[in-house]
């Protein structure tokens, strides 16, 4: 029997109340080094929306079971994909006032903080806990620098997912999983003709990462895994005809994405799909948490999912990590937090609610039953697909390049000319490669 997220949370809470969930269970170790003294831990993230908050709460609850003397101080800053959080964090780090731990993302994003010398080396935790053997090797490669680790991953998110309102798609006779981008554009047109929002998105400049996410899906769907990955290495050809084709698809899709509702966060956008106002959304799988946790929808009945068009067999991923910043005031508490984040119990408590899968190499048969229908699909795809990294969620481009790409997309919002967009993307890549 599959245990739902809700049941899992309720069971964890009840067990904790009865004092049965021991600190030795399922791989989480009790905190040492705090001598039982009360202390606090500032946790900085951007998890405030949809199921993000509930997932953070689930991780916090599990953490406090093992560390009752550490007061969890939630310093989350609202704004999907960390748009506001990253800017505020940069100011705090520059002023020498880091939180005790902050959310980063595997790949180039965490690399920026390592290069800036802002993170402590936490390789000792990998050695103590055997994580260098139990974590997924692809993720490990992305978070190490010269064989040393500076962060601890807590999840794997699936980025190239097309979400749909199943009932609406059935009513309109449009597919929930169009295989190709032209087939998708055709379905968007039908949803438009029937008076629905075809693709839900916010077109507000403050939410331009939502467009970047869709553009990323169109590029992967057109260039394939190898073509996409090549865009991030020297010799990349951003002026190619294939990129032109992908941007043209992006434009056609955006013509069916009116952005009704203005400055909407990703979960407000998901709500349009959940309520049947819109047919589709292209978004990471934190959206699933919104459907299930916020709206209590049923998979394959109320909502559905598929690889975004043209990306079957490809898993575009991102991985959230936590860090030990240099100068953290409650260093021992941070180490206890990172130990929690790396543990099987901590990762399961978090990912089952967040709409993500654990970043470990193996998920056992019993553990698998904690994950819902969608997440079991994602677990399967993760093991059999070709893995590529996300631009929008930190893996492929350092912050400076990513910001230039976001500026290019901001330009497209004002003047939807794909020729200008492509030139700006070429310039951003040239600037990056000439600086490294
Ligand atoms: C991503 C992050 C996810 C989710 C999402 C929306 O960048 O990896 O954990 O929070 O942003 O805010």
- Token pair for residue 198? 């075809």
Same CATH topology for 5-154+320-376 and 158-316+388-435: the answer is yes
Closest ligand 1 atom to residue 286 Cα is: 4
Alpha carbon distances (Å) from 170 to 262, 273, 279, 300, 320: 28, 14, 10, 11, 35
Q: Which mutation among 48, 49, 80, 142 tests ligand 1's pocket best, with the greatest number of atoms within 8 A of CB?
A: 80
305 phi/psi in degrees, rounded to 5: -150, 160
Provide the H-helix boundaries in 231-318.
241-254, 266-274, 286-289
d(CA 138, CA 361): 9
SS3 386: strand
The total of other beta-carbon atoms located within 10 Å of residue 384's CB is 8
d(CA 197, CA 255): 11
Q: Give the confidence band of 193 by pLDDT, cuts at 50, 70, 90.
A: very high
- Which among 393, 346, 388, 340 has a CA at the least distance from the CA of 370? 346
Q: Which mutation among 216, 286, 355 tests ligand 1's pocket best, with the greatest number of atoms within 8 A of CB?
A: 286
Q: Give the confidence band of 34 by pLDDT, cuts at 50, 70, 90.
A: low
CA 194 to chain centre: 32
**pLDDT at residue number 218:** 99
- For ligand 1, the distance from its centroid to the CA atom of residue 241, given in whole angstroms, is 31
Average pLDDT along the chain: 92
> pLDDT per residue over 194-245, tens digit each?
999 999 999 999 999 999 999 999 999 999 999 999 999 999 999 999 999 9
- For ligand 1, the distance from its centroid to the CA atom of residue 31, given in whole angstroms, is 28
The pLDDT of 125-146, averaged and rounded, is 96
SS3 392: coil
> pLDDT per residue over 17-27, tens digit each?
332 223 333 33
**Taking 90 as the threshold, does the pLDDT of residue 37 lie above it?**
no
- Which among 283, 250, 280, 255 has a CA at the least distance from the CA of 267? 283
Mean pLDDT lowest among 262-266, 317-321, 386-390: 262-266
| Residue nearest atom 7 of ligand 1, based on CA coordinates | 81
- Residue listed under structure tokens 């953290």: 328
Element counts in the chain: helices (H) and strands (E): 19, 14
**Taking 60 as the threshold, does the pLDDT of residue 5 lie above it?**
no
- For ligand 1, the distance from its centroid to the CA atom of residue 39, given in whole angstroms, is 28
The pLDDT of 370-386, averaged and rounded, is 97
> pLDDT per residue over 324-372, tens digit each?
999 999 999 999 999 999 999 999 999 999 999 999 999 999 999 999 9
Question: How buried is residue 299: exposed, middle or buried, by Cβ count under 10 Å (0-12/13-18/19+)?
Answer: middle
Pocket of ligand 1 (CB under 6 A): 46-47, 52, 80-82, 105, 157, 266, 284, 286, 318, 320, 393
**pLDDT at residue number 24:** 32
Closest ligand 1 atom to residue 80 Cα is: 12
Write down the domain spans for the chain.
Answer: 5-154+320-376, 158-316+388-435
**Taking 60 as the threshold, does the pLDDT of residue 76 lie above it?**
yes
Alpha carbon distances (Å) from 397 to 107, 187, 214: 8, 32, 16
**Taking 60 as the threshold, does the pLDDT of residue 410 lie above it?**
yes
Provide the H-helix boundaries in 95-162.
108-115, 123-129, 131-134, 137-143
**pLDDT at residue number 287:** 98
- For ligand 1, the distance from its centroid to the CA atom of residue 4, given in whole angstroms, is 22
CATH topology of domain 158-316+388-435: D-Maltodextrin-Binding Protein; domain 2 (3.40.190)
**Class for domain 5-154+320-376, per CATH?**
alpha beta
Q: Which mutation among 269, 270, 320, 354 tests ligand 1's pocket best, with the greatest number of atoms within 8 A of CB?
A: 320
**Taking 80 as the threshold, does the pLDDT of residue 289 lie above it?**
yes
Percent of the chain with pLDDT over 70: 92
**pLDDT at residue number 260:** 87
- Count Cβ neighbours within 10 Å for each residue of 128-167 and write b for 16 or more, e otherwise: ebebeebbbebbbebbbeeeebbbbbbbbbbbbbbbbbbe
The pLDDT of 97-117, averaged and rounded, is 97
> pLDDT per residue over 38-53, tens digit each?
899 999 999 999 899 9
**pLDDT at residue number 212:** 98
- Token pair for residue 124? 């000792």
- For ligand 1, the distance from its centroid to the CA atom of residue 80, given in whole angstroms, is 6
**pLDDT at residue number 35:** 65
**Taking 50 as the threshold, does the pLDDT of residue 277 lie above it?**
yes
Q: Give the confidence band of 15 by pLDDT, cuts at 50, 70, 90.
A: very low
């Amino acid at each position: 029997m599959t245990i739902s997220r809700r049941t899992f949370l309720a069971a964890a809470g009840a067990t904790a109340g009865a004092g049965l969930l021991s600190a030795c269970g399922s791989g989480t170790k009790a905190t040492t080094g705090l001598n039982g003294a009360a202390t606090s831990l500032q946790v900085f993230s951007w998890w405030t929306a949809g199921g993000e908050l509930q997932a953070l709460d689930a991780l916090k609850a599990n953490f406090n079971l093992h560390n009752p003397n550490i007061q969890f101080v939630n310093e989350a800053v609202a704004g999907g994909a960390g748009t506001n959080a990253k800017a505020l964090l940069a100011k705090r780090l520059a002023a020498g006032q880091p939180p005790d731990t902050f959310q980063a993302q595997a790949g180039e994003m965490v690399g920026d903080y390592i290069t800036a010398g802002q993170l402590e080396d936490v390789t000792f935790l990998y050695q103590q806990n055997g994580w260098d053997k139990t974590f997924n090797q692809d993720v490990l490669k992305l978070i190490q620098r010269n064989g040393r680790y500076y962060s601890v991953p807590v999840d794997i998110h699936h980025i190239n997912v097309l979400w749909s309102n199943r009932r609406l798609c059935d009513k309109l006779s449009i597919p929930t999983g169009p295989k190709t981008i032209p087939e998708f554009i055709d379905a968007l047109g039908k949803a438009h003709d029937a008076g629905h929002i075809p693709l839900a998105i916010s077109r507000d400049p403050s939410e331009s990462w939502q467009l970047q996410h869709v553009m990323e899906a169109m590029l992967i769907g057109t260039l394939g895994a190898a073509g996409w990955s090549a865009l991030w290495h020297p010799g990349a050809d951003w002026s190619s005809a294939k990129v032109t084709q992908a941007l043209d698809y992006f434009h056609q899709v955006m013509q069916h994405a009116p952005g009704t509702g203005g400055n909407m966060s990703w979960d407000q956008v998901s709500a349009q799909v959940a309520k049947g106002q819109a047919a589709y959304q292209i978004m990471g799988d934190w959206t699933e948490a919104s459907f299930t946790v916020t709206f209590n929808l049923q998979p394959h009945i109320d909502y559905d999912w598929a690889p975004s068009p043209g990306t079957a067999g490809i898993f575009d991923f991102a991985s959230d990590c936590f860090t030990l910043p240099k100068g953290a005031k409650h260093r021992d508490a941070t180490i206890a937090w990172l130990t929690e984040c790396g543990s099987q119990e901590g990762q399961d408590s978090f990912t089952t609610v967040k709409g993500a899968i654990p970043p470990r190499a193996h998920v056992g048969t019993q553990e698998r039953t904690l994950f819902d229908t969608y997440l079991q699909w994602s677990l399967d795809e993760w093991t059999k697909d070709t893995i590529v990294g996300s631009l929008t969620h930190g893996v492929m481009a350092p912050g400076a390049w990513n910001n230039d790409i976001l500026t290019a997309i901001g330009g497209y919002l004002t003047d939807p000319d794909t020729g200008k967009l492509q030139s700006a993307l070429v310039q951003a890549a040239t600037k990056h490669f000439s600086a490294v």
